[in-house]
Amino acid sequence: MENKNNYVAIMAGGIGSRFWPESRTQYPKQFLDLLGTGKSLIQWTYNRFLKICPKENIYFITNEQYIGALKAQIPEVNDANIISEPSRKNTAPCAVYFAHKLMAMNPDANIIMSPADHLIMDEHAFENTMADALNFVSKHDSLLTMGIKPTRPDTGYGYIQYDTEEEIDKGFRVKTFTEKPSLELARTFLKSGDFLWNSGIFIWNVRAIMEASEKFLPEMHEVFLSATEVYNTADEHDVMSELYAQCTNISIDYGIMEKAKNVFVIPSYFGWCDLGTWESAYENSNKDYLGNSVFGDNVMIIDATECMVKAPAEKLVVLQGLEKFIVIDTPDVLLICERNREQQIKEYVAEVKRNKGDKFL
């Protein structure tokens, strides 16, 4: 699939607060081995895309404070392929910035924008789907997303409704986006058969995303257009530090995808999970005969069932009598939380910040 016009931007700037206390501001979840595979999520993502486009065309967009961690985990990456964001402004600014950067480099570029922290179980199917996606955007000036066939009425995902009748090069026109619906609505979506989960993986050619940003995020577009002369030069980083301060904090979904008319989706089947919460980690990890998912060399389970337990290798943890709990032990924080309350971990983190400052974050 080697094609010099194909590029990947791996978005790796998030904090991953739902995986607290394992994921911290200084060392977030994309750099962690959450499932005990021997590789971090960002390493898996990088290796996956090495089969899809040339190594020199794979870029990382991350916060400045994570560059050291990124280089430690992927030492072969060139400095030129690391784009450091001076501040967190969500996904739209990094998508528009990357489009302008590539337009200055290769006006025929096809771009995959991918999160760094997704779990993909069927990598061969993923490669084939990405080949279809890159083929689609090389022929059509459209915005494309990967839609995942839903397996349950999940309220934590965004949903994409699509026209099931009209297929163009394996893509289907998107009708609506719905962000994190109620359980009742999610059940309705599941029954209807024309809704997919929004994977957050976007593909387009550089012309299409430039046109979309000019139309729907004109101020942001103008900000990055003003720096055309400095892209891919020694001055780029310093100029971006100034320009990012002028950008709105907004996602690609809200800023562009939900407004554009030329949006398509490819229904995808490659064992996808966005691995956004401890519950998703539990669901995708090996379990013992009592349904416990255990990470730690010295964890003893006594009459506990369906728990997610993670502890340092050298620490003895004895668990008795708990059912459906998350127990995450780190050197300075112990979290014990009911599994059905884990969506509230983000709120607990905010409470910790209010009461204890940033020390434990």
Q: pLDDT tens digit string along 295-310? A: 999 999 999 999 999 9
Residue whose C-alpha is closest to residue 16's, from 281, 309, 201, 247: 281
Q: Using one digit for the tens of pLDDT, what is the confidence trace for 40-98?
A: 999 999 999 999 999 999 999 998 889 999 999 999 999 999 998 888 888 999 999 99
Boundary of a domain, candidates 273, 300, 317: 273
Same domain, 209 and 301: no
Same domain, 50 and 80: yes
Domain count, the chain: 2
Same domain, 170 and 259: yes
Same domain, 59 and 169: yes
In a domain, 361, yes or no: no
Residue whose C-alpha is closest to residue 196's, from 165, 169, 166, 157: 157
Q: Does residue 341 have a pLDDT over 90?
A: no
Q: Provide the H-helix boundaries in 157-264.
A: 183-192, 206-216, 218-225, 236-244, 252
Same domain, 215 and 324: no
DSSP β-bridge partners for residue 60:
10, 82
Q: Using alpha carbons only, how large is the chain's radius of gyration in Å?
A: 21
In a domain, 321, yes or no: yes
Boundary of a domain, candidates 212, 243, 273: 273
Same domain, 269 and 289: no
Rounded to the nearest 10°, the torsion over CA 89, 350, 22, 73 is 20
In a domain, 338, yes or no: yes
Same domain, 241 and 289: no
* CATH code of residue 243: 3.90.550.10
pLDDT-derived band at 18, boundaries 50, 70, 90: confident
Please state the pTM of the whole predicted model: 0.92
Taking the CA atoms of 39, 32, 333 and 318 in sequence, report the sign of the dihedral they define: negative
Same domain, 239 and 314: no
Same domain, 145 and 79: yes
Q: Which two tokens stand for residue 222?
A: 């103008």
Rounded Cα–Cα distance for residues 172 and 20 (Å): 38
DSSP β-bridge partners for residue 239:
none
Same domain, 322 and 351: yes
In a domain, 148, yes or no: yes
294 φ, ψ (degrees, to nearest 5)? -120, 125
pLDDT-derived band at 223, boundaries 50, 70, 90: very high
Same domain, 106 and 144: yes
Taking the CA atoms of 195, 135, 108 and 78 in sequence, report the sign of the dihedral they define: positive
Q: Which two tokens stand for residue 361?
A: 């974050």
In a domain, 98, yes or no: yes
In a domain, 278, yes or no: no
Q: Does residue 23 have a pLDDT over 60?
A: yes
105 φ, ψ (degrees, to nearest 5)? -100, -45
Distance between start and end Cα atoms, the chain: 41
CB of 309 within 8 A of CB of 300?
Answer: no
Taking the CA atoms of 301, 302, 307 and 309 in sequence, report the sign of the dihedral they define: negative
Same domain, 290 and 268: no
Residue whose C-alpha is closest to residue 349's, from 333, 359, 361: 361
In a domain, 185, yes or no: yes
Boundary of a domain, candidates 222, 247, 273: 273
Q: What pLDDT, on a 0 to 100 scale, did the predictor assign at position 2?
A: 60
Q: Does residue 1 have a pLDDT over 80?
A: no
Number of Cβ atoms within 10 Å of the Cβ of 249: 11
Which domain range does residue 306 map to? 285-356
In a domain, 1, yes or no: no
CB of 83 within 8 A of CB of 99?
Answer: no
Hey, which bits of the chain come out as E strands? 6-11, 58-63, 82-85, 110-115, 119-120, 143-148, 159-168, 171-178, 195-205, 263-268, 272-273, 293-295, 299-302, 308-310, 317-320, 325-329, 334-338
> What's the chain's average pLDDT?
92
CB of 173 within 8 A of CB of 146?
Answer: no
